[in-house]
Structure formats: structure tokens, C-alpha cells
A = this chain, B = another copy of it.
């Protein structure tokens, strides 16, 4: 069993937000009452960007607040949406007079609370647009369901929208490039071991010695299937093959890749996945033009990883490469 480093578990999220802000005093400010983090130097004359969701996925979202990315990130309890009231206050804080893009991972609670907040903020004459992130290929189904879940592509959407807003794009333009990004990116995830909630004695689920959870969610949602455990190269292929099939990439294409640690994967393990990814795509005539390899969207201490691919074009490459200065992403 895992023991957590906590004080009163009820205080985990507010205390952690306080710690994040105290350790980034040049970058961040805290609204303790509504549990959101803002840039210390508020942006002026640009479209505002707010995101947020349940905690337990750090550095998402508050780690991406700063110049060139989010203006505000609002935090719910572990794996629980922030309330509509929190999102409303966060949306107001993000507004600098040109409207606010709300970047929302596709989960029922988050979508509902951001939508309510967007409607109410209209009463304050704040224009809002929602950009829904729904990149998780494991939940791609025909029919009227909730649609694909939002996972690590959120980082790309936040970065690209942040750069567009910084360049002076208007509300519709920022929302449009965010939607285009979300529509282009797909992610597959696997777990060798589930994460453990702070305070819980046991992990969210257990797997047999030979089993891998292929298509796991970032809240520990079980997958439709378990597959046999295999080598680093084999595990990479399990993620890559469905992505290649779905994205329909062809020779000469260039992609952005995120090899994302879901919590307690060693860097050495991630680097093996990056290696295999490079060689597989190189063999197919596809270039990985931009990379992130590390913990970006975690699921507590889950041992597992996700692989996100997004085809790059000139606009997306330029927006990705634009300067950024946040706790978790800086160049």
C-alpha cells in the first residue's frame, strides 16, 4: 500500500495550490477562495484563456499558467470538476476585455460547469468560447455517447491557443485554432499499475502479472481490454498502431509527439518509448518534428504512459514554437 504525503486530506488541493504559487512567486498568483491560479503579471488587451478540471493530473493545469499559455487554471478536488461558481470566477479573472476561451477536457462534469459559467459570465458582458479537448482514441465510438475523453492533447491546445492569443488573435480565431488542434490530435494510453488516491490504502485497480490495461483513462478508468505484457518496443507499438491507423499519416508528414508519464514511470522507460517511436515513424517516412517526453498529464502515481500524436503544419508549428514561460513548460 502507498502512504501519501498529506496533512488533512481535505486541505490537499488548496495547500498544494498555495505551495505551487509560493514556489513560483515571479509567475503566479493565487485566489485561495475559488481555488484558481493566475499569472502574476495579468495580460492586457488579449483574449483570455482559462482551463481547469480535477486535481491529480499535475502539472496540468496550473503548471501551464504563464506567458504564452494559460491566464487562469481552476482546480477541483482530486479527479472532480471544479464547481460552476469556481469556473465563473476564474473566467472573470481571465477576461482582459477581448473575451475568454475556456479549454475543457471532455468529461460530463467539467463540460457542464464550464458551460454554466460561460452562460452566466455573459451576463457580465464577457464573451466566451469553449474549446473541447477529446483526443483519447480508446473512447472513440459511434453513436450518441459522451464522445472521446480529453487527455494529454490538452497541453497542445493550451500552448497553441496561448500563443495565438499572445499574437493578438481575436476570440473566434483563438477558439478556431484550438478546435483545429483538438480535432487533429489523438492519444492512446496504457497502464502497468493503477494510481492510488491520496489517503486510500489500495490502488484504483489491480492487474494480473501478465496484463496491461490498454486504453486506460487518466482517472483510472478501466479499459475495454487487457492485453498481454510485452517489451518496451511492443508496448510502444500497442499505442502507436491504432494512432497511425486513425490519423491516416503518410510519408512526408511531420508530427508533434508527447510521450507522457502517467505518474511513476521512470524517465529511462519513457526514453525507450521515444526511441521506438522515432524508429517506427522514420521507417514510415514520418518525422517527429517536435517532442515532449516527461510527466505532463498524470494520473496520481499510475505506472503507465500515454502517446499523443498531432500532424504539424506551418501555423501549428509556429504557435508551438512561440515563447512560453510557465512552471512546467518554458522556452
In addition to A5-B273, A12-B268, A16-B267, 14 A-B residue pairs with Cβ atoms within 8 Å of each other are: A4-B266, A5-B269, A7-B272, A16-B275, A19-B273, A23-B259, A23-B291, A55-B268, A56-B266, A56-B268, A59-B267, A198-B266, A266-B300, A301-B303
Q: A263 near B: Cβ within 8 Å?
A: yes
The yes or no answer to A15 lying at the interface (CB within 8 A) is yes
A221 CB to nearest chain B CB (Å) = 19
Identify the 10 closest CB pairs spanning chains A and B, nearest first.
A19-B275, A264-B264, A19-B271, A58-B267, A5-B269, A16-B271, A19-B274, A23-B274, A23-B291, A22-B278
Q: Give every chain B residue within 8 A of A325 (Cβ-Cβ).
A: 331
Q: A3 touching B274 by the CB < 8 A rule?
A: no
Q: Per a CB cutoff under 8 Å, which of B5, B23, B209, B303 touches A278? A: B23
What are the residues of chain B within 8 A of A78 when measuring CB–CB?
A: 268
Closest residue of chain B to A59 (Cβ to Cβ) is B267
Any chain B CB within 8 A of the CB of A17?
A: yes
Oligomer copy total:
2
A2 to B301, CA, bound (A): 13
Among the 9-residue stretches A93-101, A102-110, A231-239, the one with 4 or more Cβ atoms under 8 Å from chain B is A231-239
CB < 8 Å neighbour of A232 from B7, B233, B266: B7
The answer to whether A19 and B278 touch across the interface, beta carbons within 8 angstroms, is yes
Residues on the B chain within 8 Å of A23, using CB: 259, 271, 274, 278, 288, 291, 293
Q: For the complex, is A284 an interface residue (Cβ under 8 Å from B)?
A: no
Interfacial residues of chain A within 1-41, with CB under 8 A of chain B in the complex: 1-7, 12-13, 15-20, 22-24
Complex contacts, A291 vs chain B, CB 8 Å: 23-24
- Residue of B6, B59, B231, B272 touching A16 (CB-CB under 8 A): B272
Q: Roughly how many angstroms separate A303 CA and B301 CA in the complex, as a whole number?
A: 9
Is A192 part of the binding interface, using a Cβ–Cβ cutoff of 8 Å? Answer: yes
Which B residues lie within 8 Å of A18 (CB)? 271, 275
Q: Is A154 an interface residue (CB 8 A)?
A: no
A205 part of interface (Cβ distance < 8 Å): no
List chain B residues, Cβ under 8 A from A59. 267
A227, chain B: closest CB distance, angstroms: 13
In the assembled complex, the Cα of A20 lies from the Cα of B272 at a distance in Å of 8
Interface residues of A in 237-294 (CB under 8 A from B): 259, 263-276, 278, 288, 291, 293
